Amino acid sequence: MSRISLRAVLVAGLGGLAVLAASCSLDLDESRIDGANDGGLVGDDGGANDGGANDGGGDAGAPVGPDASACTSDDACKTTHGCLEGKCDLTRKSCVYDVCRPAACSAAVCDQAKRTCGAAAPFKYKASQFTVGAQISCGKCAAAVHPWLFVVTGTGVVAFNVSNPSNASPPQAPIVGLGFIPSALVQSGSRVWMLGGASGPGPSRIQLAYVDAPADPFATKITAHTVLASYNRPAEGTWLFPRGGDSALLVSQAAQFPSAVLEAPLGEPASISATPMLPPQNFGPSATSGERLLLSAVNGAGNQTASFAFIDDAGSANPTTGPAVNVPDTGGGFSVHRTFAQSADGAVFWATGVHQQIVANVFVTRAARGYFLVPGAAGAIDVDDGVDLEVYNGEAVGANAAIFGGNQASAAMLDAKTAMIALQARENDQQTAVQFVRRDPLAIVQEGDGPRRQLLPIPIGTVVASAASNGVGYLVANDQGGQTPSATVYAFDPGCGL
């Protein structure tokens, strides 16, 4: 078999990306497992279809789920609902619905009873910010599938309806059927995967789940599908990466990075077998491009070099390692501190610190530099061109400084040619600069004679996650302390003025 396929027998729940620490207790909470979905769909005729559950987990609205045959053109997404305008996301092959968005950079409130929009109000580059209510509990624990933003807190997963990016109090939909608190999550197509705890000497048992995000912006709940799978590895650190076709790639943090492909439907009994790979020495997993795992390495002291390589068919029985590609020297070498983001169609963006030598054997961070490293799922690694995102002053920022935050989670791709990046501001290390960069032509999005750039009064170290969907980028920061600490979500639309 070319991939490990998980076949469904029972309903199961959400899945994810990021580091998983081995645990000695799985802590499944059966009281939180609720597979029922009593919602129906509302079609163009406005009538409710209460005929049973649906895999999208939506309740009362538009077509749902990541079915590859769902749409091929906007015609398939037409609706008579007065608040909705449908279009086909050709990358996801799924309908998406804007709610009361009469023009770019403007939005209105929908009267759901009358199915009419109120008066439209404009919004700016920083469209809104809102409080999560708790802090994000793990690095990179956010994912966006329009019109939903999913974040993981210490008490579970929260789904915000962000169909109106200017809404400072977006409604929430409860996640039902999820029996654990994820340690990571990742978006793949219209599906969000989640990763939980593991226990056992090998084979171990590992918590996995997924949700098919409903396209219906009026869904009142979202159903998860959860499984406790058998894994042929011991309980150990694990990453989860997005992968083409709404699937995910499970990668163990062990020698040769044993990996397995996760696909829906997912159900009990589930058995996962990981296959070791042959990575180049000192290389480690960084991102995915379609069915390929991107590895990277930064080697040397002082004037450090950066290199990349693909492993084709990662997670299959026969993964193949490609040649290493070296990045041209910028004059002072590259930082070990960097961040990666990938688009739904396999493009990869890389941002890193670049060094300069100020005296013999003394290096500092000259700038943050961004590269559109891979153009798509079938594209080659391209390291020829990069753009300076933020240029720092002399000795103010040391070599290998954490200019993208401790979680290195400050980049997200809106599409294959547009990336959002948050980083330490050049003016003040207690501020964060947010801007967007485009691939064609390679440049930072401009506002007059300078970059369209927003300063946030928070240090980059508070940034824990970023995500993007439907042309909007979301930055999540654990920036509220006190007796009730909370995260803040900042929403940005690069097409709007400051």
Give the pLDDT confidence of 407-429 residue by residue, as tens digits.
999 999 999 999 999 999 999 99
Half-sphere exposure of 336 (CA within 13 A, CB side): 12
8 A C-beta contact, residue 217 and residue 61: yes
pLDDT of residue 342 exceeding 80: yes
Q: H/E/C letters for each residue in 460-477?
A: HHHEEEEEEECCEEEEEE
Q: What is the mean pLDDT of residues 322-351?
A: 95
- Name the least confident of 57-71, 184-198, 254-268: 57-71
pLDDT of residue 27 exceeding 60: no
Listed in order, strand segments (DSSP E) in 313-417 are 320-321, 325-326, 334-342, 348-359, 362-374, 387-391, 411-415
Global confidence as pTM: 0.87
pLDDT of residue 141 exceeding 90: yes
pLDDT of residue 186 exceeding 50: yes
Q: Tell me what pLDDT residue 331 has.
A: 83
Instruction: Tell me the C-alpha distance between 416 and 372, whole Å.
Output: 9
Give the pLDDT confidence of 64-79 residue by residue, as tens digits.
444 445 788 999 999 9
Q: What is the dihedral of CA 247, 175, 89, 465, to 10 degrees?
A: -80
Give the pLDDT confidence of 467-495 residue by residue, as tens digits.
999 999 999 999 999 889 999 999 999 99
Closest by CA to 188, choosing from 271, 290, 86, 98, is 290
Q: Tell me what pLDDT residue 69 has.
A: 57
How confident is residue 56, by pLDDT bands cut at 50, 70 and 90? very low
8 A C-beta contact, residue 125 and residue 493: yes
Q: Tell me what pLDDT residue 103 has.
A: 94
pLDDT of residue 2 exceeding 50: no
Residue entry with tokens 């000192």:
282
- What mean pLDDT, rounded, does the chain reach? 86
Q: Tell me what pLDDT residue 40 has.
A: 28
How confident is residue 24, by pLDDT bands cut at 50, 70 and 90? very low
Q: Tell me what pLDDT residue 268 has.
A: 84
Q: What is the mean pLDDT of residues 254-270?
A: 93
Q: Tell me what pLDDT residue 39 has.
A: 29
7 or 436, higher pLDDT: 436
